[in-house]
Chain A
Amino acid sequence: MTIAVRPAIGPPAGTDPGQAGHARQALEARGIVKRFRASGKDVVAVAGVTLSVERGEIYALLGANGSGKSTLIRALSTLLEPDEGTVTVFGLDIRKDELAVKRLINRVSVEASFFKKLSAMENLVYAGRLYGVPASEARIRSRQILVRLGIAVTRHDEPLEKLSRGMQQKVAIARAFLTSPALLLLDEPTTGLDIRSKREVQTFVRDLRDEHDATILLTTHDLDEAERLADRIGVLHEGRLVVEGTAAELMGRHGTRGSLEDVFMSITGRKIDENEPSEIAGER
């Protein structure tokens, strides 16, 4: 793991978030509401989330299945338009400055989504081009990132469908890193990875923040991962952000035996009373 990745993932020219605005907040979401209409019934997937992530911070979102994590991530990455609320990324409004925001962000979804017949390298070069990374540069960087994530060079030019699910997930992570996002949204990035691969990805995420000033918002079902990686943790429950704080703070407040699992169980176990005041200041 001594491969120099610094040149591989520095921010490309013109996308320095410093130029985009002087905002200290990398991400600022206010009062996000997202409803879906499915088979005649309204589902409130996100029910008024206010959240901000500071530049250089790693923020982990926890929550039970269906609590709205992926929906929130999609709303933050321009893939869903919120019914209510505003989002700014480094001070840029996600709707008004859509193209500029898109240049600053990238997202990794739970399922690795690729052109299955194309190789990892072809998929990455294509993705790089979409973000203005020249093909020659994309090739060099991709090799470095893939190797660093533990994918041997011999696999880089094989059709992606021949790679295991975990390997595909790593290629998906490489794709996001390749475009040097200032704000990286990771939706369950390590789900389906073995323990070693998980660690490799976690180390890489941390390096990305430490070495390249990236801000990271991730969702996970792995509480150890959240504790190990995140500066702050938020828990979504039925579309609301019900607690937020450092791992230690959360455990102090909710953990009967002082573990994050207790926190999770105690928060997601109870039914939220609509009228119960939220613990988070500023949440409506």
Chain B
Amino acid sequence: MIGEVATQAGLAYAFVEREVALMKRYWLWELVWIIYGIVTSLSVAFIGIAAPVISGNAVDPSTTSRFVLYLLVGTIAWRFMGLVFENIAEIIAWERWEGTIEYTFMAPVPRLTHLAGMAAGTIVRAVVFSVTTLFAVMLFIPVDLSHANALSAVTMLAVGTVAFMGLGIASAVFPMLWTEKGLQMAYIVQAVVLLVSGVYYPTSVLPTWLQALSVISPATYVIEGMRRALLDGADLSALWPLVWPALLVGVLSVPIGLRAFIAAERYAKRTGRLKRSG
């Protein structure tokens, strides 16, 4: 049993090592994405700082500082979960593009192990990106973390990450089924989630029909929970009403996503969609 777990961990590690090696080789592109992320976060934070000027009303400094942190939590947490989602949703499309997909699917690796390895690799990348962004932003803008409850925030993010892994796995099915337009579908899913999850604003400002969608997005709960943790120091028991819905999405989406993935893989192998040429 323990030996089996070690074997599977060894297999999964192959994917982590590969992803890290790819990050190093594509470092210039990675740098572009990191800078892009930093600039986005900074721009959003400056909106907060400019609030008094934009609105023409005096706003006391502590309110401004709270507003800035409110925006930063949204942008950085979203970036983290978005990266996890994207990387996993792109598993098929990326390997098709590299031309390695048949080798990955021919290898004697259980699909669960493969996806777990990819998820771990993706978390490494998301952590590097988010931590870099956070420190870079703090160089430009004073960020008040004096009330923050880091444990609650990290737990909330971890729960959200699991949920987005499941959604990512389920979305990776699109490129498997539709070789030409599958990835575009995955990105549309992501864009809609961004709109409805209250990343930059409370979901209460959305039209009612969109609020219905925000109820099913795990990001809604995660970002709200992280705000309460980082702005007001909420502990985990206070956050439980936000933890369980996100947890539920993860508990459902991971096994459902995995099943869908395996079914799509079989379908692709039956119809010759895994790879066409050669």
Residues of A within 8 A of B (CB): 34, 36-37, 70-71, 74, 77-81, 83, 99-100, 102-103, 105-107, 109-111, 113-118, 122, 125-127, 129-132, 159, 175, 187
What is the distance, in angstroms, from B274's C-beta to the closest C-beta of chain A? 6
Closest B residue to A45 using CB positions = B272
What is the distance, in angstroms, from A114's C-beta to the closest C-beta of chain B? 7
User: Is the contact region of chain B dominated by helix, strand, or loop, or is it mixed?
Assistant: helix
The A-contacting residues of B in range 1-60, CB under 8 angstroms, are 7, 10-11, 13-14, 17-18, 21-22, 25-26
Contact pattern, B 125-144, Cβ under 8 Å of A = 1, otherwise 0:
00000000000000000000
- Is B271's beta carbon under 8 Å from chain A? yes
Does the CB pair B10–A132 fall under 8 Å?
Answer: yes
Question: What are 24 A-to-B residue pairs whose CB atoms are below 8 Å?
Answer: A36-B271, A36-B272, A37-B271, A79-B102, A79-B106, A83-B270, A100-B108, A102-B106, A107-B106, A111-B277, A113-B101, A113-B103, A114-B99, A114-B100, A115-B21, A115-B98, A117-B26, A127-B107, A129-B10, A130-B14, A130-B107, A132-B7, A132-B11, A175-B103
Question: What is the CA–CA distance of A243 and B272 in the complex, to the nearest angstrom?
Answer: 27
Q: Which residues of A contact B18 (CB under 8 A)?
A: 115, 118, 122, 126
Specify which of B22, B108, B270, B278 lies most central, judged by the most chain A CB atoms within 10 Å of its CB: B108
Closest B residue to A185 using CB positions = B106
- Is B147's beta carbon under 8 Å from chain A? no
Closest A residue to B13 using CB positions = A129
Q: Which residues of B contact A175 (CB under 8 A)?
A: 103
Does the CB pair B278–A109 fall under 8 Å?
Answer: yes
Q: A102-B107, A102-B108 are in contact. Are A129 and B25 (CB under 8 A)?
A: no
Extra inter-chain contacts (18) besides given A109-B278, A111-B99, A113-B103, CB under 8 Å: A36-B272, A37-B271, A74-B102, A105-B106, A107-B106, A113-B99, A113-B100, A115-B18, A115-B21, A115-B100, A116-B98, A126-B17, A129-B11, A129-B17, A130-B104, A130-B109, A131-B107, A159-B25
What is the distance, in angstroms, from B10's C-beta to the closest C-beta of chain A? 7
Question: What is the CA–CA distance of A83 and B17 in the complex, to the nearest angstrom?
Answer: 37
Question: What is the CA–CA distance of A117 and B14 in the complex, to the nearest angstrom?
Answer: 17
Q: A79-B274, A117-B26, A132-B11 are in contact. Are A99 and B99 (CB under 8 A)?
A: no
- Our pick among A78, A115, A126, A187 for the contact of B106 (Cβ within 8 Å) is A78
Q: Which residues of A contact B109 (CB under 8 A)?
A: 130
Interface size on B, residues (CB 8 A): 33
Question: What is the CA–CA distance of A36 and B266 in the complex, to the nearest angstrom?
Answer: 15
- Our pick among A99, A111, A114 for the contact of B278 (Cβ within 8 Å) is A111
Q: Which residues of B contact A109 (CB under 8 A)?
A: 102, 278
- Is B110's beta carbon under 8 Å from chain A? yes
